[in-house]
């Protein structure tokens, strides 16, 4: 089955700097890769996703890149703000059928003012 590895487990950056979180997946058939942000005690929120037919997607300060050959994808947050502090999870799955999302271990991002 699919296995998703996420790094780093913790990340601390200065406000205004960029943050990058990386994930690798094992199943080459996976073709959907969402990223979720979870604040303490709250629900995971879908912040951006990418499908395997594109290599990059951007939404304001957030971007995701996908390298299908290497089977890895990354989340990039630019101009970080204190409200970006949270735990971020990557995930992967095959779109066909009722395939389940497989999550990475999570990255605790702290933005220092």
Partner 1 sequence: GAVVSQHPSWVICKSGTSVKIECRSLDFQATTMFWYRQFPKQSLMLMATSNEGSKATYEQGVEKDKFLINHASLTLSTLTVTSAHPEDSSFYICSARWTNYEQYFGPGTRLTVT
How far apart are the C-alpha atoms of 49 and 34, rounded to whole Å? Answer: 4
Q: Any contact of residue 89 with partner 1 (CB under 8 A)? A: yes
Q: Any contact of residue 98 with partner 1 (CB under 8 A)? A: yes
- The residue range among 11-19, 37-45, 63-71, 74-82 that interacts with partner 1, by the rule CB under 8 A, is 37-45
Give Cα separations from 108 to 2, 27, 33, 43 (angstroms): 23, 25, 19, 15
Q: Any contact of residue 88 with partner 1 (CB under 8 A)? A: no
Give the closest residue to 91 by CA, choosing from 39, 23, 29, 42. 23
List 3, 26, 45, 81, residue binding partner 1 (CB under 8 A):
45
Q: How many CB atoms lie within 10 A of CB 16?
A: 11
Residues in region 53-82 near partner 1 by CB under 8 A: none
Radius of gyration of the chain (CA): 14
Q: How far is the CB of 33 from partner 1 (least distance, A)?
A: 10
Write out the residues near partner 1 by the rule CB under 8 A. Answer: 32, 34, 36, 41-46, 49, 51, 89, 95, 98, 100-101, 103-106, 108
């Amino acid at each position: 089955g699919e296995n998703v590895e996420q790094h780093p487990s913790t990340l601390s950056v200065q406000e205004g700097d960029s943050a990058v979180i990386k994930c690798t997946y094992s199943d080459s058939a996976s073709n959907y890769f969402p990223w979720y942000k979870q604040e303490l005690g709250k629900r995971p929120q879908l912040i951006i996703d990418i499908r395997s037919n594109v290599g990059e997607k951007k939404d304001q300060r957030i971007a995701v890149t996908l390298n299908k050959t290497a089977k890895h994808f990354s989340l990039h947050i630019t101009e970080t703000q204190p409200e970006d502090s949270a735990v971020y999870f990557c995930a992967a799955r095959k779109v066909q059928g009722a395939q389940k999302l497989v999550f990475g271990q999570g990255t605790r991002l702290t933005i220092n003012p």
